Copies of this chain bind each other. A is one copy, B any other.
């Protein structure tokens, strides 16, 4: 049996995916430090998670831009160091040979069964071709528009029946999740799209005994909120308003410029402050597509809080991050953690991974340090036991 772990990235030719696979190869080759990877902290040293060099990458995408070209563009944008993609040509070519055409929204609407079948077949052949016992499927494709509610979302049998009847009840992200579950792969929603977050699909994950986790990787502004809000709360300062403005370019900026999709992202951010502070806060968020920003994102947050005797004070911050550089190491963490979850035969929603997500499935715990403790407890207790 192979100690290698299969990693199947939906959106496999995107920025996050390309950065993750190139970075994994770089760290494995000793060319880079695992900076930004949480599971590489000494705290987690005892846990038996796969080495980055043991990951085998493949993926689905709806575009055909070669990974090597995509990596070259990431060099231009300052995400990957000059020269790195060349040094890792073999790893990139290996991943290239495992890219398959993904399913589109149109496919999902018009022939959902066939689409699902195609994904299942791609995953199965990936698994057997590399003799992989464990596969983790991660969704890092473009954020989808929100989906209308449908009774079939509540019940596994209704859902499979609706698909058989060719009904357009699921977006691609959910079909990818279903396929993963079907082949016994773990599934991670790194985007705010539906993915596995429907009662019917979560039930299927339980039934098929696979772990799922999500959703929406927490990289920038929300990370800051999950750090600052608990701290202001601990000091009993009263947050009066918290306005956030994000400017970003890249494929993601363009996708989120579409107001409908932005909504799906904003919803996953909005719940958080009230959950942490215990009272509603006037907290508008805006996302602005500024093409010129390329792979970079700047968030400005303006926080007004009240102190003793009603005095108003302010905290403002600007966060200037390279989104893919922040997301990729977390994605690698999630892959390693899901491999551990497969090892431990976890099934259903793994809420202990809340640390990584803007909209954590299975919990309303949004305070970063509590999420870290949840994570530590989950990773370490099992080692001990």
Q: A residues within 8 Å of B by Cβ? A: 19, 22-23, 26, 32-38, 40-41, 78-82, 84, 223-224, 227-228, 230-231, 234-238, 240-241, 243, 245, 247, 282, 284, 286, 288-293, 298, 300, 302, 304, 306-311, 313-322, 325-326, 328-329, 355, 368-369, 372
B32 touches A243 (CB 8 A): no
Known: A290-B241, A321-B313. A369 touches B234 (CB 8 A): yes
CA distance A302 to B38 in the complex (A): 23
Q: What are some 26 contacts across the A-B interface (CB < 8 A)?
A: A23-B308, A23-B309, A33-B238, A34-B236, A35-B237, A35-B308, A35-B310, A41-B234, A79-B311, A223-B231, A227-B228, A234-B368, A234-B372, A236-B329, A243-B288, A286-B286, A286-B288, A300-B300, A307-B326, A308-B329, A309-B325, A313-B319, A313-B325, A314-B318, A315-B319, A316-B317
Give the Cβ gap from A37 to chain B, nearest Cβ, in Å: 6
A230 touches B369 (CB 8 A): yes
A288 touches B284 (CB 8 A): yes
Chain A's interface: helix, strand, loop or mixed, by majority?
mixed
Give the Cβ gap from A161 to chain B, nearest Cβ, in Å: 42
CA distance A300 to B81 in the complex (A): 29
Known: A288-B284, A290-B284, A317-B316. A84 touches B38 (CB 8 A): no
Known: A40-B236, A282-B290, A290-B282. A320 touches B313 (CB 8 A): yes
Give the Cβ gap from A28 to chain B, nearest Cβ, in Å: 13
Chain B residue nearest in CB terms to A328: B308
B236 touches A247 (CB 8 A): no
Contact of A245 among B228, B245, B293, B313 (CB under 8 A): B245
A293 touches B286 (CB 8 A): no
Chain B residue nearest in CB terms to A332: B308
CA distance A82 to B368 in the complex (A): 39
Chain B residues positioned under 8 Å from A320 (CB to CB): 313-316
B302 touches A325 (CB 8 A): no
Q: Which of A41, A306, A369 has the most CB of B within 10 A?
A: A369
Contact of A307 among B26, B36, B82, B235 (CB under 8 A): B36
When A and B form their complex, which 9 residue pairs have the shortest distance between CB atoms, in order from nearest? A317-B317, A245-B245, A311-B325, A369-B369, A227-B231, A36-B308, A241-B292, A314-B320, A307-B325
Chain B residue nearest in CB terms to A372: B234
CA distance A240 to B247 in the complex (A): 13
CA distance A19 to B228 in the complex (A): 26
Give the Cβ gap from A350 to chain B, nearest Cβ, in Å: 19
Chain B residue nearest in CB terms to A311: B325
A38 touches B300 (CB 8 A): no
CA distance A80 to B81 in the complex (A): 15
Chain B residue nearest in CB terms to A240: B292
CA distance A328 to B237 in the complex (A): 13
CA distance A309 to B207 in the complex (A): 39
Taking A32-B309, A231-B368, A282-B292 as known contacts, 11 extra A-B pairs with beta carbons closer than 8 A to each other, sorted by chain A number, are A35-B236, A234-B368, A243-B288, A243-B290, A286-B288, A298-B302, A300-B302, A313-B319, A313-B320, A314-B318, A316-B317
B293 touches A241 (CB 8 A): yes
CA distance A234 to B218 in the complex (A): 13
B311 touches A235 (CB 8 A): no
CA distance A356 to B166 in the complex (A): 62
Chain B residues positioned under 8 Å from A284 (CB to CB): 247, 288-290
Chain B residues positioned under 8 Å from A236 (CB to CB): 34-38, 40-41, 329
A310 touches B81 (CB 8 A): yes
Give the Cβ gap from A167 to chain B, nearest Cβ, in Å: 35
